[in-house]
Structure 1
Amino acid sequence: MTEIIDYELYEVPPRWLFLRVETSDGTVGWGEPIVEGRAKTVRGAVEELLENYLLGQDPHRIEDHWQTMYRGGFYRGGPILMSAIAGIDQALWDIKGKHFGAPIYELLGGKARNRIRVYQWIGGDRPSEVGDAAAEKVDRGFTALKMNATSELRRVDNPAVIDNAVDRLREVRERVGPEIDIGVDFHGRVSKPMAKRLAKAMEPYDPMFIEEPVLPEHNDALPDIAAHTTIPIATGERMYSRWDFKEVFENGAVDVIQPDLSHAGGITEVKKIAAMAEAYDVALAPHCPLGPIALAACVHVDTIAPNALIQEQSLNIHYNETTDVLDYLADPHVFEYDDGFIDAPDGPGLGIDIDEGYLAEQAERTVNWHNPVWRRDDGSVTEW
């Protein structure tokens, strides 16, 4: 019997954690278990799961391993544990695909599409100069963009805040025209009353969706927000299992779900979340401001999910100041962007090859990324 015999973790810039799992027949699988800004905490969770449950075990019993890692702990769920499970799950699927000489999507039922559309980020945390950036991305072939709506806000803020956010969206819409989709990310920065006001004001410029209009702990407010706008509502990057998604499916307020393949239990769990979403006529657009392993995992689920809409990817995102998605790949052409789409990888497993020499070099660097702590003008902490 093939067994899991070893693993190694690499914390690398800009803010990622890569997992290498090796089996007794020499097969290597890769995963990306990370909570951005909490890499060392997730590292401990990955080590605990592998040491206690997986070393010496058959790597191909993926569903059983998932259930063991999840249900083997009396306390379960949440970003740390589910991200640790996610990265391990990705690596196990990579191993299984390599064992059978097939892409992961072939093991999940085969293609529902040949390629998936991607969107490109414009602007930064405090969005500015978005018009030129939007035009440049469209010139490069992207047909969908995403931008932050606002910087920090008061719980009830002044009309100028609304006007500034709408002006940025209007500028982008006027530069790119009506055939380009524009996602607007509220990033959980916006209170319920401000979310309603912003959504109403943005309607004339037809965003593709408004993302995370409120924090997930306030998902009970989504039906009220949805009742105030015709703009599709997207959420889910800070929801970690199918049980977290139950409420938003049942209340009917969400049109697009955005589970993260490195946070929401990996390929095994997000495939189930996508199937639940399909039953409620909800589209799938996986969250992925991460590295190449996470992106590859997303694309495999997109390829088999009939309700997949579009894929986030972090090429040139404002976090990636030192290293970028393609830098860690032996063959970066696997993620060539063609008319705003990427093809499903056709290699075995995840279909990517990590440049282990470059990875080892980058792992020697000090990585200590944490998101900023924002404060309002009165000194109180607010959402980033």
Structure 2
Amino acid sequence: MKIKNVETFPLLYKLPVPYGDANGYKKYRSCFLFKITTDSGIEGWGECADWLPTLEKGFHDRIIPYLLGKKATDRNQIVTTVKKWNKRSAYGISMALTEIVAKSAGLSVCDLWGGKLRDSIPVYASFQSYTQKEDWINHSLKLIEQAICGGFSKIKVKIGGKRLQVDLAHIQSVQSMLEEKIQLALDANQSYDAATAREWDRYFREWPNMLWIEEPIPMDRLEDYRLLRTKLSIRVAGGENLKSTAQFLPLLKGGIVDILQPDVMHEDGIDGYRETIHLSRAFGIQSSPHTFDGPLSRLYALLAQACLPPWSKMDNDNIEPVEWDVMENPFTSLLSVKPTNGTVTIPDAIGIGALLDKDKLDNYRWDGTVYH
């Protein structure tokens, strides 16, 4: 079963109204998908994130010529080699080859991994709270209201992009609307120092619906995180940009965070990602995947979460939620898997169990022009 063809699908959508977080505003959303086909006709889809010109050139100049003729079952060797050239491309290839192996065996990806332990996974609505409008708070509230009406019972809102008092006014308005009936996480995108992060705790103690605060300070300040975790009255989460299980070890061994947030598209392929979330169980730590960028990587995170043992027998076999992008982004709906009332039913079909919308693949294909 050798690789016969690789087709790339660079996708771009320019946002009519930019939105963002403490890192700045997004003017576009992009997605790079590719399809690997074997000489027996079995297909597998992969996804990676980077600047589209870099990915497109890298695939056609080096990666595709290397892949052609290789055995699709040599996943570890192929991923290890490609990782030396472009790590982000390697994790996408690991997805595609995993799907091919599952299909060739007549199995779902979950069955390939030993079988799912649950049929559905909770997801939370993830927002990019800031816009350039003066009434950005009202705009944020409207988006949150729409998500709640759509069935979400957990949401994540951004902080850290404005002065503390401005962000506080926003979150107080959000809490007034939620009436403590919806669970809330806050994401600061590493924008505070420890002292500023601690200022939030006087409000956390009054809000019983808090899920966690995410990356309140830079992730390389491990001692500050250790101290902050002892001072805050809610859970501390982080780790979306870490690139390997080895990089998560200091967080696990040092008691740095309460919740790991690995991202499939940032780690050592799907195998490395699964290694991380299973290792978190050995430390009794929760794992709630970061999956804001990428519909296919989000699906793989859901599949992996379905196969993950519970983090604690005291939690009634509950499983941590997966991030779901609810902002304007047509790529979120590229796959047929969608949430209903805040949960996603895990597909049982062979492979990933979901179909990609071919019309959207054609409609949003990047035309090669410069974008920024």
- TM-score of the pair, normalised by structure 2: 0.84
Match of 2:230 among 219, 227, 230: 227
Question: Taking structure 1 as reference, are residues 368 and 294 closer, same or farther at Cα in structure 2, changes over 3 Å only?
Answer: farther
Question: Taking structure 1 as reference, are residues 197 and 368 closer, same or farther at Cα in structure 2, changes over 3 Å only?
Answer: farther
1:128 aligns with 2:137: yes
Give the corresponding residue for 2:321: 310
Alpha-carbon distance, 1:66 to partner: 3.4
Query: Helix, strand or coil for the counterpart of 1:213?
Result: coil
Give the corresponding residue for 2:101: 96
Aligned length: 342
CA contact (8 A) 1:6 1:55 kept: yes
CA contact (8 A) 2:288 2:321 kept: yes
Give the corresponding residue for 2:171: 169
Give the corresponding residue for 1:157: none
Deviates more, 1:107-116 or 1:185-194: 185-194
**Contiguous gaps of at least 5 residues in structure 2:** 13-28, 312-318
**Within 5 A, what are the aligned runs for 1:312-351?**
312-314=323-325, 316-318=326-328, 320=329, 323-326=330-333, 328-329=334-335, 332=336, 334-335=337-338, 337-351=339-353
1:23 aligns with 2:33: no
Give the corresponding residue for 1:114: 119
Alpha-carbon distance, 1:178 to partner: 2.8
1:292 aligns with 2:305: no
Alpha-carbon distance, 1:46 to partner: 4.8
Give the corresponding residue for 1:61: 74
What is the alpha-carbon distance in structure 1 between the residues aligned to residue 371 and residue 174 of structure 2? 30
Deviations along 1:103-133, one digit per CA (max 9) or x if unpaired, are 2111111112111101112452356224443
Give the corresponding residue for 1:9: 8
Give the corresponding residue for 1:87: 92
**One-letter amino acid of the structure 2 residue matched with residue 104 of structure 1:** V
Question: Taking structure 1 as reference, are residues 40 and 249 closer, same or farther at Cα in structure 2, changes over 3 Å only?
Answer: farther
**Contiguous gaps of at least 5 residues in structure 1:** 153-160, 371-384
What is the alpha-carbon distance in structure 1 between the residues aligned to residue 232 and residue 103 of structure 2? 47
Question: Taking structure 1 as reference, are residues 47 and 174 closer, same or farther at Cα in structure 2, changes over 3 Å only?
Answer: same
By percentage of residues, which structure has more strand? 2
Alpha-carbon distance, 1:257 to partner: 1.2
Query: Helix, strand or coil for the counterpart of 1:214?
Result: coil
CA contact (8 A) 1:9 1:43 kept: yes
What is the alpha-carbon distance in structure 1 between the residues aligned to residue 58 and residue 234 of structure 2? 39
Question: Taking structure 1 as reference, are residues 140 and 249 closer, same or farther at Cα in structure 2, changes over 3 Å only?
Answer: same
Question: Taking structure 1 as reference, are residues 5 and 367 closer, same or farther at Cα in structure 2, changes over 3 Å only?
Answer: same
Deviations along 1:234-277, one digit per CA (max 9) or x if unpaired, are 11111111011111111112111111112212321111000111
Query: Helix, strand or coil for the counterpart of 2:10?
Result: strand
**One-letter amino acid of the structure 2 residue matched with residue 193 of structure 1:** A
Alpha-carbon distance, 1:29 to partner: 0.8
Give the corresponding residue for 2:250: 247
What is the alpha-carbon distance in structure 1 between the residues aligned to residue 368 and residue 53 of structure 2? 12
| Percent of residue pairs identical | 21
What is the alpha-carbon distance in structure 1 between the residues aligned to residue 370 and residue 285 of structure 2? 37
Deviations along 1:327-355, one digit per CA (max 9) or x if unpaired, are x34xx3x32x2221001122221122223
Give the corresponding residue for 1:378: none
CA contact (8 A) 2:189 2:216 kept: yes
What is the alpha-carbon distance in structure 1 between the residues aligned to residue 35 and residue 152 of structure 2? 32
Deviations along 1:192-241, one digit per CA (max 9) or x if unpaired, are 33223234543422421111112233344211221220211111111111
What is the alpha-carbon distance in structure 2 between the residues aligned to residue 44 and residue 88 of structure 1? 16
**One-letter amino acid of the structure 2 residue matched with residue 105 of structure 1:** C
**One-letter amino acid of the structure 2 residue matched with residue 128 of structure 1:** I
What is the alpha-carbon distance in structure 2 between the residues aligned to residue 368 and residue 208 of structure 1? 40
Question: Taking structure 1 as reference, are residues 266 and 49 closer, same or farther at Cα in structure 2, changes over 3 Å only?
Answer: farther
CA contact (8 A) 1:200 1:228 kept: no
Give the corresponding residue for 1:186: 188
Deviations along 1:34-54, one digit per CA (max 9) or x if unpaired, are 13xx23334455557735753
**One-letter amino acid of the structure 2 residue matched with residue 57 of structure 1:** K
What is the alpha-carbon distance in structure 2 between the residues aligned to residue 236 and residue 27 of structure 1? 35
Question: Taking structure 1 as reference, are residues 357 and 26 closer, same or farther at Cα in structure 2, changes over 3 Å only?
Answer: farther
1:139 aligns with 2:149: yes
Deviates more, 1:17-26 or 1:203-212: 203-212
CA contact (8 A) 1:170 1:205 kept: no
Deviates more, 1:44-53 or 1:228-237: 44-53
Question: Taking structure 1 as reference, are residues 361 and 104 closer, same or farther at Cα in structure 2, changes over 3 Å only?
Answer: same
